[in-house]
Structure 1
């Protein structure tokens, strides 16, 4: 059974006459990785601060781990770990000492804190740098230490705000793999806020597209593609020879095929379901040569930009 762990019900945040967040409704389920995707200034960080009880909404209600973030922020903070985009540590203290300091702030007994800190440093790949001063850590190392830091209090949810900002490509790959592994092994719910589309697509179970304080759409990549590209959400490319009218008719008559287009020796078959196996079988049975067949998978980049091109219709939020 799917269990919600974060529930936002028509929350808004208004500064003077400007809405930073405008009637945002969103449910994030326990154990999933959810990506909050949008450009800088879209309202992602404002939404996160309201979830944490660090900013009070102008309207609406927020439930995190079954508690109201606005009226009970301290209880929420005990169960939620937060990694901001600009992370600060005591730079003259080692990574290990920083984790022990965090443990003391959370009233974790010293013996438990020492064991947990060593275990977490191993999980994030910083055992060899445990006694190195945090001020000497690279950006990628600081982010990994930050993950260990938010995990010290054994949270149910971790919220990561632009966690890969300023990290080199290899560091990004390692950090994303680490987040995915922690989610799988520890069952931790992850809310990842980012404007990096390909990074979000790599690890998130579902995404929400957030622009100008509004949630335009949410779902997994496949469901978002169906929302945007409607009946043509699956496209199959096949290089075939020879191509004649009879073959086109046979392909057009296949269940789930909406239209067939020919571009030189390549056929483009558009449908609402994955019809690649039926296309291959039809071509072979027709006696034609099939040189290759491939499916087009709509990625977040195409989905995201389609919204800004007006492909989302009236711009109202939709769900999947």
Structure 2
């Protein structure tokens, strides 16, 4: 997972962003930051407000309230400038089926004002990067769904954007195709410093690639942070795995530490469940007992468990994938 660049200004920033359609609030008071080199996942069921948020970020829908900046610009006032620096891949990428992948990309390059020689070199590099070099001159109508998705990412990258917005990029893909797309996204963030906003309702994929996650329901982002931070925000448990060199029962000594809920054997190790981060206290207690600490590390609560807890508390219907 890719972390944001230290000290970098956010490539996407919203404060109190709101969108209403009559009496319906589609996006409600959204605060969001995505930094260069970061993959941020918006996680939520269909109809939660994810796509409406994207439309406002692209300048395709005017907010009802709040503020937003994308690459330092207001999309409502500088939509063309924002679009020139943001690549967008919708959930159903459209191409001219009778044209080859290469010619589809060349058409996009012309629309973005790239000269022919620059565009040609750029297109060759992108087709190779997305694994389509050997099919570049085949008509797109012969491409599989996964190939179209990868071509969609190449299409979004023709203008060398600072921000990449992916709306359900792996929907309908088999596991191998999804891994190819997600691996490409990770490389873009890590190697080029592209800020990536990825919307999905697939829990395992979001946890696989996103440094931070925002949980979206009924137009509101009810929580955001790393998986560990989300687990802690609403009474989640810290899971600490402990290993010692000696054969010893850690339950009595560690179980007395304030905040520890229970201590159970887990193979050759011990699993400590607590309401707070008790690693320092556990290490001190083990050392004080004359035992040799072999390892001590925190396990993250599964994103699926966290997600279901938030939705249970929100009382929301949820069609999101459950692991």
In 1, the alpha carbon distance for the partners of 2:287 and 2:88 equals: 54
In 1, the alpha carbon distance for the partners of 2:190 and 2:265 equals: 44
- TM-score, with normalisation over the residues of structure 1? 0.86
Q: Does 1:275 align with 2:301?
A: no
RMSD after superposition: 2.9
Secondary structure of the structure 2 residue equivalent to 1:310? helix
Q: Does 1:113 align with 2:115?
A: no
Q: 1:274 to 1:138 in 2, by over 3 A?
A: farther
Could you list the runs of 5+ residues in structure 2 that have no partner in the other structure? 1-6, 316-323
The size of the alignment, in residue pairs, is 304
- 1:302 corresponds in structure 2 to 305
Q: Does 1:52 align with 2:66?
A: no
Q: Does 1:61 align with 2:63?
A: no
- 1:125 corresponds in structure 2 to 131
Shift of 1:173: 0.8
Moved more, 208-217 or 14-23: 14-23
In 1, the alpha carbon distance for the partners of 2:291 and 2:17 equals: 58
Q: Does 1:251 align with 2:254?
A: yes
Shift of 1:9: 1.5
In 2, the alpha carbon distance for the partners of 1:257 and 1:282 equals: 19
- 1:200 corresponds in structure 2 to 206
In 2, the alpha carbon distance for the partners of 1:262 and 1:182 equals: 42
- 1:315 corresponds in structure 2 to none
In 1, the alpha carbon distance for the partners of 2:223 and 2:89 equals: 25
Q: Does 1:260 align with 2:237?
A: no
Q: 1:285 to 1:75 in 2, by over 3 A?
A: same
Shift of 1:143: 0.6
Q: Does 1:95 align with 2:98?
A: no
In 1, the alpha carbon distance for the partners of 2:22 and 2:58 equals: 22
Q: Does 1:20 align with 2:26?
A: yes
Shift of 1:27: 1.5
Q: 1:293 to 1:41 in 2, by over 3 A?
A: same
Secondary structure of the structure 1 residue equivalent to 2:53? helix
- 1:6 corresponds in structure 2 to 12
Shift of 1:257: 5.5
Q: Does 1:143 align with 2:145?
A: no
In 1, the alpha carbon distance for the partners of 2:25 and 2:266 equals: 51
Q: 1:26 to 1:112 in 2, by over 3 A?
A: same
In 1, the alpha carbon distance for the partners of 2:251 and 2:146 equals: 53
In 2, the alpha carbon distance for the partners of 1:129 and 1:146 equals: 14
- TM-score, with normalisation over the residues of structure 2? 0.85
In 2, the alpha carbon distance for the partners of 1:53 and 1:280 equals: 56
